[in-house]
Amino acid sequence: MSKGMDVRKGMTESAPGVSPGPASSRRARGYIRRLAAGFLNRPRLMSLLGWLGIRGLLWRTYCRCLGPQGGILQLELGAQRARFYVHSEWVAADLISFGGEQEVLQRFISLLRPGDVVYDIGANMGLYAVFLGQAVGPQGRVVAFEPEPHYCERLRGNTALNDIHNVRIFCLALGNRAQESALLPSQRGIAAPRLAKSPPVDGWGRARHEVQVVEGDRLVEMENLPSPRAVKMDVEGHEYAVIRGLRRTLSNPLCEIVCCEIHPALLPEGVGSGEVVDLLRSCGFTRFEVLPRPPEQHVLAFKGRTASNTGG
């Protein structure tokens, strides 16, 4: 771990004097947790609850009642402190390790200034968005994009939990053209779902979930979004399409920094990491810093005289 990266973490403490209870109580709690998890893992039911507007409330209630150690995990990253809802031990474990990206997150935050506008593309449950919202302060803005509805609600819940009001959330995916796409679920922890490479077809069963994909530049124009100074991108192999659809925004001189996670194994056929970097170069980025995290890699791209060591 690099110098100055004092990363500490801990669960919220149980109420003083409260014992875990007898083994029978723990077994009953485990049974209720499995029953509730099975109930909440029914896609059609969850869609109905989302339509009714109560899915997020039920998930937060589940975390507080049945999640590990009270369902809230506290993370510290340097001088920053943030809390996140957790519903299982394996999600807590992934958050504690920052999904293996604590060095990348710390590096990216060091480049930001109060008042900056940051796009978080592939925001997941908000690990980056929460810390970014704190880093840019109340005068800054974070625009977060997350196509998976459940993760979107977790993102909203985690920003509210940290009393952050400068994050605007779009429940959709960015790409190089408007379309619908099938979203493949993540396997565990805070790993992100990913868009299918082919159009949705019948027979995908429970793994199939259709989401809206929009061209990034078109959305920026339609929603009159502020131009970003920095962009973070983690889109599980769709980074090339996202950059193509956001070229006008990325080419704006105001956009000085891009942090892009490249997934070589998930990129389209004929596209490699070099093509992704070349596309960023065509948007005016001239200097690149690579932070390997095999099999993926994070690329930090800079324009002109942008400071690459500090946010000053």
The answer as to whether 232 is a domain residue is yes
Report d(CA 312, CA 307) in Å as an integer.
7
Report d(CA 221, CA 245) in Å as an integer.
12
Residue 173 maps to which CATH number? 3.40.50.150
**Is residue 84 within 8 Å of residue 75, measured between CB atoms?**
yes
Read off the pLDDT of residues 25-46 as tens digits, 9 standing for 90 and up: 556 556 555 655 555 555 565 6
pLDDT value of position 69: 81
Report d(CA 302, CA 156) in Å as an integer.
30
Helix (H, G, I), strand (E, B) or coil at 132: helix
The answer as to whether 312 is a domain residue is no
The answer as to whether 308 is a domain residue is no
Residue type, 45: L
pLDDT value of position 204: 38
| Residue 99 domain boundaries | 7-13+20-302
Read off the pLDDT of residues 80-118 as tens digits, 9 standing for 90 and up: 999 999 988 988 999 999 999 999 999 999 999 999 999
Helix (H, G, I), strand (E, B) or coil at 251: helix
The answer as to whether 208 is a domain residue is yes
**Cis check: omega of the bond before 200, within 30 degrees of 0:** no
pLDDT value of position 197: 55
pLDDT value of position 39: 53
pLDDT value of position 13: 40
State if pTM tops 0.95. no
pLDDT value of position 10: 42
- Residue in 184, 181, 161 with CA at minimum distance from that of residue 172: 181
How many domains does one find in the chain? 1
- Residue in 283, 189, 303, 185 with CA at minimum distance from that of residue 239: 283
- Residue where the block lists tokens 């920053």: 80
Where the chain has pLDDT below 70, the residues are 1-53, 184-208, 305-312
The answer as to whether 120 is a domain residue is yes
pLDDT value of position 62: 82
Which residues are 168's β-sheet partners?
A: 143
